[in-house]
Amino acid sequence: MARTLINIPPTARRGEVIEIRVTIGHPMETGFRPGDDGKILPRNIIQRFSCRYNSELIFSAEMFSAMAANPYISFFTTAQNTGTLALTWEGDGGFTQTENVTLTVTG
Amino acid sequence: MRTLPGLICLLALALVANAQTTTRQDARKSGFEFMGPSTQAMQKDDTLNPGMLSVKDGEALWQKPAGQSSKACATCHAAAQSSMKGVAARYPAFDDALKRPIGLSQRINQCRVQQQQATPLRPESADLLALESFVAMQSRGLPIAPTADPRLEPFRQAGGQRFMQRMGQLNLSCAQCHDANAGGKLGSSVIPQAHPMGYPVYRLEWQAMGSLQRRLRNCMSGVRAEPYAYGANELIELELYLNVRAKGMLGETPGVRP
């Protein structure tokens, strides 16, 4: 399990625009760099990030070799109903991780 | 009524003295103040600061039993939030058994070997940096407070001399950049005043956490000198001198640096 830093407001008013900011600890090894032994290190990157709000896909992003380690992603959405935001990272070597965050919508 | 002018005079003197100490303090700046606003924002917000990934790892390791003793750090030291408060601010400290000063990461490894009966963690390994940053974060916002231990004095002096001493093919001393030309530029980078604030830091160039010793070694290879090995006395002496130089400045761990 990779460590994550997730910043989502726990509550929001209906119709309010909220910012979602996520960081995940990941080496994002490019696949082009030699290791200490001179051999090329195998690529190990996160290829896709997606966010589902009550099962509906609201945001996704593709990532490539040129991205820095511990990728940080920020995006906006509109608070509609109380529910779960499922944040999923998928990458090389069968890497997959999902974090669920509850959002309470008032009004 | 005779006392009133005297009082005013005293007050004025106090104000002057106060202004002097403030300007003297203002002359010293953490590397934080030399960074751009976006990097500063990244350090200030714990949900943005990538160094917090390491701190959280350290928090988990603090609770995890290790070695043959099956003891965790927390078994002896309980909650780091209280037991480790201010500890990083006074390191490196003198070790009675070794009869020389040791840094915080060496102290952690000493605890691992002697108390937990575990294998020492490799210098700059993710786990050691995680524990060190978790411990050092308990001194965030506290002033750097080097101990008055007289046994440290010769080591501090040696560190001060090394700071002034030219080294490497470029034949530069630390002081030539960080005292004489601080605030200027080296290539496109701003030269900071070399105060050891916020270590271990998340350095964007490294895309990872690194200790003060890594930073010092980095500078040494920059002037094309042979860097001292991790944990070498020479590096500890430099750390001791830097801490005296930064005495009273506030801890920032986990810092973010460009």
Neighbours of B96 (CB within 10 A): 6
Q: Rounded to a whole number, what is the distance in Å from the CA of B40 to chain A's nearest CA? A: 16
Cβ atoms of B204 and B258 within 8 Å: the answer is: yes
Same domain, B39 and B55: no
> Which residues of chain A lie closer than 8 angstroms to B48, CB-CB?
5, 7, 21, 23, 72
* Domain shared by B164 and B218, yes or no: yes
- pLDDT at residue A16, as a whole number: 95
Residue B4 belongs to what H/E stretch? helix B3-26
Cα–Cα–Cα angle for A1, A47, A75, rounded to 5 degrees:
85
Q: Whole-angstrom Cα distance, residue A10 to residue A20?
A: 11
In SS3 terms, B127-176 reads as: HHHHHHHHHHHCCCCCECCCCCCHHHHHHHHHHHHHHHCCECCCCECHHH
Q: The tokens 């490196």 sit on which residue?
A: B92
Distance (Å, whole) CA A65 – CA A33: 11
- Nearest neighbour of B52 by CB, restricted to A5, A28, A69: A5
Compute the distance between CA of residue A91 and CA of residue A74 in angstroms, rounded to an integer: 19
Q: Which of B137, B162, B197 is the last residue of a domain?
A: B137
User: Which residues, in sequence order, are CB contacts of A77 under 8 Å at separation 6+?
Assistant: A17, A18, A20, A51, A53, A58, A59
Mark out chain B residues that contact chain A at CB-CB < 8 A: 45-50, 52-53, 56-57, 204, 207-208
Nearest Cα residue in chain A from B57: A3
Q: Take residue A25 and report the two structure tokens written for it.
A: 């600890």
Predicted local distance difference test score (pLDDT) of residue B26: 62
- CATH number for the domain spanning B104: value is 1.10.760.10
What is the distance in angstroms between the CA of the first residue and the CA of the last residue of chain B? Answer: 59
- B3 domain-assigned: no
Counting one residue from A and one from B, how many pairs have CB atoms under 8 Å apart?
35
Residue B20: per-residue pLDDT: 45
| Same-domain pairing of B158 and B248 | yes
Residue B92 Cα, gap to closest chain A Cα (Å): 29
One domain, residues B172 and B127 = no
pTM attached to this predicted model: 0.88
- Measured between CA atoms, the residue of chain B closest to residue A7 is B47
A chain contacts of residue B50, beta-carbon cutoff 8 Å: 5, 23, 25, 70, 72
A6:B47 CB<8 A: yes
Short-list B204, B174, B177, CA closest to B35: B204
Is the same domain home to B35 and B159? yes
Mutate to test the interface with A, among B45, B47, B122, B209 (most CBs of A within 10 A): B47
Residues B153 and B224 in one domain: yes
Contacts of A4 in chain B (CB under 8 A): 53
Same domain? B91 vs B164: no
Give chain B's radius of gyration (CA, Å): 20
Chain-chain contact of B207 with A6 (C-beta, under 8 angstroms): no
Of B137, B158, B173, at which residue does a domain stop? B137
> For residue B89, which phi and psi values (nearest 5 degrees)?
-70, -20
Chain A: give the shortest CA distance to residue B44, in Å: 14
Instruction: Nearest by CB to B53, from A7, A68, A70: name it.
Output: A70
Question: In this predicted complex, what is the ipTM?
Answer: 0.89
Q: How confident is the model at residue A51 (pLDDT cuts 50, 70, 90)?
A: very high
**Burial class of residue A76, CB neighbours in 10 A (0-12, 13-18, 19+):** exposed
Residue A73 burial (10 A CB sphere; 0-12, 13-18, 19+): middle
Q: Which tens digits make up the pLDDT trace of A2-47? A: 899 999 999 999 999 999 999 999 999 999 999 989 999 999 999 9
φ, ψ (nearest 5 deg) of residue A84: -115, 140
**Residue in chain A lying closest to B206 (CA):** A69
Question: How many other CB atoms are there within 10 angstroms of residue B254's CB atom?
Answer: 26
- Domain spans, chain A: 4-32+43-106
Domain span including residue B189: 31-45+145-257
Residues B100 and B125 in one domain: yes
- Is residue B11 included in any domain, yes or no? no
Distances (CA, A) of A86 to A56, A81, B52: 10, 14, 22
Structure token digits, residue B240 = 């001791």
Asked if residue B9 is part of any domain, the answer here is: no
Separation CA B182–CA B193 (nearest Å): 5
| Residue B78 CA, distance from chain mean position | 24
Output phi, psi for A81, to 5 deg.
Answer: -130, 155
Per-residue pLDDT of chain B (258 residues; tens, 9 = 90+): 455 555 444 444 444 444 444 445 568 999 999 999 999 999 999 999 999 999 999 999 999 999 999 999 999 999 999 999 999 999 999 999 999 999 999 999 999 999 999 999 999 999 999 999 999 999 999 999 999 999 999 999 999 999 999 999 999 999 999 999 999 999 999 999 999 999 999 999 999 999 999 999 999 999 999 999 999 999 999 999 999 999 999 999 999 999
Does residue B2 lie within any of the structural domains? Answer: no
> In this structure, are residues A95 and A46 in contact, taking their beta carbons and an 8 Å threshold?
yes
Q: Which residues on chain A are in Cβ contact (under 8 Å) with B49?
A: 5
CATH 2.60.40.10 correct for A4-32+43-106: yes
**Closest partner CB to A3 (pick from B49, B57, B204):** B57
Strand partners, B203: B208, B257
Tell me how many domains chain B contains. Answer: 2
Which of B113, B137, B161 finishes a domain? B137
